[in-house]
Structure 1
Amino acid sequence: MSDAGLVGEAAQRVSEAAELLARADELATYSASATGIERTYLSPEHAQVNAVAGSWMREAGLRAWQDAAGNQCGRMEGDAPDLPALLLGSHLDTVPGAGRYDGVLGVLVAIAVAGRLTPGVLPFAVEVVAFGDEEGTRFGTTLLGSRALAGAWDDAWLDLVDARGTSLHEAAYTFGLDPAGMGDAGRDEGSLVGYLEAHIEQGPRLEDAGRALGVVTSIAAARRLLITLTGEARHCATPWHLRRDALLGASEAVLAIERIAREQGSPATVGHLAVRPDAVNVIPGVAEFSLDLRDVTAQGRDATWALVRAELDRIAAARGLTVAVAETHEAPAVRCAPELQDLLRAGIRATGDPEPLELFSVAGHDAMAVAALTDVAMLFVRCAGGISHHADESVTEADVAAAIDALHAAVLALAAEFAE
């Protein structure tokens, strides 16, 4: 290629990355909160970003539609009609107070890659999906969009209720979906050749290593539990030896969770803590707290939980409390397909990184659900300070350009394998 050609190609890459970042800024304006980004499943903001993403899919040459579960989809046919598709994507929903790039980056990178492709050429179709619910913020159950696409929709979810008392059934109807038909979003077995997802790392390892991109080898096994310690609510004048203080028990339990999880190497987080009666001069009779527990394997996760549960029982007995545990989520570890990992490694090498970094994902992703239907792999993109689920999420234009290049190269490498 001539020097002029190289300069033109570099300018195109910069332009693509700049446009992607501008699109992320645009999506950030669709929020239910005036003080930060908040976009939940089946909300008006969900409908708005689906419409915008759909228009960008059409600009990229895709046929766009919204599926029965509210996922925004686009498709480009291959060299014959109705071929199985390579699926690219991520999610557009957020946690409260979110950043601009968690999930969103993967959708926009997928659209950018699709825009580089020529319809009717590849030996498979290419589809882009913007999942409507990954975070589980509104209804408390994660991966609703990707589980629906994977054929795992459960009509019992229609009875889930949000913080305002609106059921998922009601929300789906208001959104314009048929609640009874949401399972129709499920794809047929054999309809996909694989799933590739780009995502910010949500950790500091790429930044620490001075790398823009990394290949995900597996996604953590996870459990979420709601733990309730019950004692006795009494006046603050109660002597120490008569107190059955649920909050003190919970405080001791949270510190024990940290100690055990550190020793076992299992990421653990207590992100919710509430007490009743919640009065300044009343000993708390009930303390409720969450536990998000993860590990490389389900066996490691469950071994850590067994140690935590034994410590909870010890604390409760010592303080005259009772313990109740409700599991709200469980997910097995997901191993990314070695063949698809190799394609992403080749894509990263094409950007100039000769030895792509391999990363284990502590965070959960839509790929976990899609893995029930087809092989999956993930590309991580460096984010400043490893910060995520926060307004300070940040990526660079150069890293975004590299991510588009790497995913594009992986798609072409898969096409070359089909041709052999």
Structure 2
Amino acid sequence: MSRTHRHTPSTTLATTNPTTLAEAELILERCNDLAGLSRHPERMERVHLSPEHKAANELAATWMAEAGLSTWQDAAGNQCGRLEGSEPGLPALLLGSHLDTVPDAGRYDGMLGVLLAIQVVSRIRDSGIPLPFALEVVAFGDEEGTRFGMALLGSRALAGTWNDDWWQLTDKDGITLAEAFQDFGLDPARLPGAFRRPGSLVGYLEAHIEQGPFLEDAGRRLGVVTSIAGARRFALVMTGHAGHAGGTPYDRRRDALVGASELVIEVERLSKQQHVIGTVGRLQAFPGGVNVIPGRVEFSLDLRAEFDPDRDESVALIFAAAESIAERRGLSFSATEIYRADATVCDPGLQDAVFAGIRATGDTDPMRMWSRAGHDGVAVADLTAIAMLFIRCRGGVSHHPDEHVKKVDVAAALDAFEAAVLAVAASTPARSAA
């Protein structure tokens, strides 16, 4: 069962001051600027290692420099910046999110988190508060996996969990990931330069739109993320036999599309029964003639859950249903796992810092919730402790042009994110540079 707490605010949220609202307006304007860097003039799409990615990195680097960060693009194409702490060379608290998008995207998923991080650094630099760690901002180049079908490439490179088999991944034009690196001006042989050393970071904080309706339903601006869903993705195939639509009686048909369609309904039924989230997002019938019984159907399965055992049990139930459908209809079924990310629990201490940050905005009992969507923190957690701040989005809509956030919510998120960083600083013992 979901462990999201749904309750009403315990106090009236603090009034946002004009200066913070002006900063929120700046952040939203910058989101619009980034939204203009799209492969298509009529819709938003910016993919990994594209000209639009390069332009977005350059724009983000300009804003990072204005905030006082020294900047560089790492060997994986992530845009990075650093503000030293109380002395040079200290381990860093990493803040950030991603700049890539899905096709026909909104303008806040990922981008808002990067821009909030930059503005927090600007505030702390202007305050002159010495921190017991450096602050770094990262704008990951590939979280969505839109171009090469493998998500979290940017953050997996930073975490040092890169798999060299990925170099042979291809995009829809047949360009390999290795070739795309070279086209972007990167050298695949130098990729290890993007890997961060264990101990080089004290933690990772990310602000992100919720991509769901739970904050809005509860009347909350902000939430503390407790964990990030475990996800598995599969390429599925149902195979039958193609035949003439008019000449083949029903008792002799081996219609792969009917079998696949029955399984799609089972995915929904079983997901509701098991309290997981199952989605078939892609389905294609072959040979594809309007007067031909489909002999083969290729489709997808995305399955997510708060806890990995619930996810894995649901996969087994869905596959058992698929085999039963196939046997009954004279079909064959196969599944190939193409992506797996186990559930990631956010660090309790960093969660407490985010909780304190939200309380500083006037919400005395911040809402704790698990993330149904995946995030770069899944990869970064292999290197350091992570936590996340969620910001409500209108209707819970994301991965769509209707994605929307309120300026007052962005202002509250900015205050909360800065307060969370300062809370981490307060709980971090002083240390010397390595």
TM class, shorter-chain normalised?
over 0.9
- Distance in 2 between the 1:149 and 1:170 partners? 20
SS at match of 2:293: coil
- Aligned twin of 1:10: 17
> Is the CA contact (8 Å cut-off) linking 1:383 and 1:395 kept in structure 2?
yes
- Distance in 2 between the 1:305 and 1:97 partners? 29
- Aligned twin of 1:123: 132
- Distance in 1 between the 2:112 and 2:414 partners? 10
Q: 2:417 aligns with which of 407, 411, 416?
A: 407
Q: Does 1:150 align with 2:159?
A: yes
- Aligned twin of 2:64: 57
Q: 2:193 aligns with which of 184, 191, 208?
A: 184
- Aligned twin of 1:377: 387
- Distance in 2 between the 1:152 and 1:353 partners? 38
- Distance in 1 between the 2:390 and 2:281 partners? 25
Q: Does 1:228 align with 2:245?
A: no
> Is the CA contact (8 Å cut-off) linking 1:80 and 1:120 kept in structure 2?
no
Q: How does 1:126-145 map to 2 (within 5 A)?
A: 126-145=135-154
Q: How does 1:195-214 map to 2 (within 5 A)?
A: 195-214=204-223
Q: How does 1:180-329 map to 2 (within 5 A)?
A: 180-236=189-245, 237-329=247-339
- Aligned twin of 2:55: 48
Q: TM-score, normalised by structure 1?
A: 0.97
- Distance in 2 between the 1:225 and 1:184 partners? 32
> Is the CA contact (8 Å cut-off) linking 1:65 and 1:74 kept in structure 2?
yes
**Alignment deviations for residues 247-301 of structure 1 (CA, whole Å, 9 cap, x no partner):** 0000000001110110000101100000110010000000111000011111110
Q: Does 1:332 align with 2:339?
A: no
Q: How does 1:32-47 map to 2 (within 5 A)?
A: 32-47=39-54
Q: TM-score, normalised by structure 2?
A: 0.94
Question: 1:11 deviation in Å?
Answer: 2.0
- Aligned twin of 1:91: 98
Q: Does 1:105 align with 2:112?
A: yes
- Distance in 2 between the 1:250 and 1:141 partners? 25
Unaligned runs of 5+ in 2: 1-13
Structure 1: 4+ residue segments shifted above 4 A: none
> Is the CA contact (8 Å cut-off) linking 1:41 and 1:138 kept in structure 2?
yes
**Alignment deviations for residues 47-84 of structure 1 (CA, whole Å, 9 cap, x no partner):** 00000000000000000100000000000000111100
> Is the CA contact (8 Å cut-off) linking 1:260 and 1:307 kept in structure 2?
yes
- Distance in 2 between the 1:360 and 1:88 partners? 20
- Distance in 2 between the 1:304 and 1:120 partners? 50
SS at match of 2:428: helix
> Is the CA contact (8 Å cut-off) linking 1:154 and 1:183 kept in structure 2?
no
SS at match of 1:122: coil
Question: 1:121 deviation in Å?
Answer: 1.8
> Is the CA contact (8 Å cut-off) linking 1:347 and 1:408 kept in structure 2?
yes
Whichever residue aligns with residue 386 of structure 1, its letter is G
Question: 1:120 deviation in Å?
Answer: 7.9
- Distance in 1 between the 2:293 and 2:429 partners? 71
Change (3 A) 1:183 1:153: farther
- Distance in 1 between the 2:287 and 2:258 partners? 14
SS at match of 2:238: strand
> Is the CA contact (8 Å cut-off) linking 1:78 and 1:120 kept in structure 2?
no
Question: 1:155 deviation in Å?
Answer: 1.9
Does 1 or 2 have the higher relative contact order (CA < 8 Å, sep 6+)?
2
Shifted more, 148-157 versus 36-45: the winner is 148-157
> Is the CA contact (8 Å cut-off) linking 1:347 and 1:409 kept in structure 2?
yes
Unaligned runs of 5+ in 1: 1-5
- Distance in 2 between the 1:367 and 1:22 partners? 26
- Distance in 1 between the 2:272 and 2:101 partners? 28
* Identity between Structure 1 and Structure 2 (%): 58
- Aligned twin of 1:395: 405
> Is the CA contact (8 Å cut-off) linking 1:42 and 1:70 kept in structure 2?
yes
- Aligned twin of 2:6: none
SS at match of 1:164: coil
Equivalences, count: 414
SS at match of 2:156: helix
> Is the CA contact (8 Å cut-off) linking 1:77 and 1:120 kept in structure 2?
no
- Aligned twin of 1:357: 367
Shifted more, 29-38 versus 60-69: the winner is 29-38
- Aligned twin of 2:78: 71
> Is the CA contact (8 Å cut-off) linking 1:198 and 1:380 kept in structure 2?
yes
Whichever residue aligns with residue 50 of structure 2, its letter is S
- Distance in 1 between the 2:211 and 2:129 partners? 36
- Distance in 1 between the 2:24 and 2:249 partners? 64
- Distance in 2 between the 1:92 and 1:270 partners? 26
SS at match of 1:226: strand
- Distance in 1 between the 2:429 and 2:76 partners? 34
- Distance in 1 between the 2:396 and 2:206 partners? 18
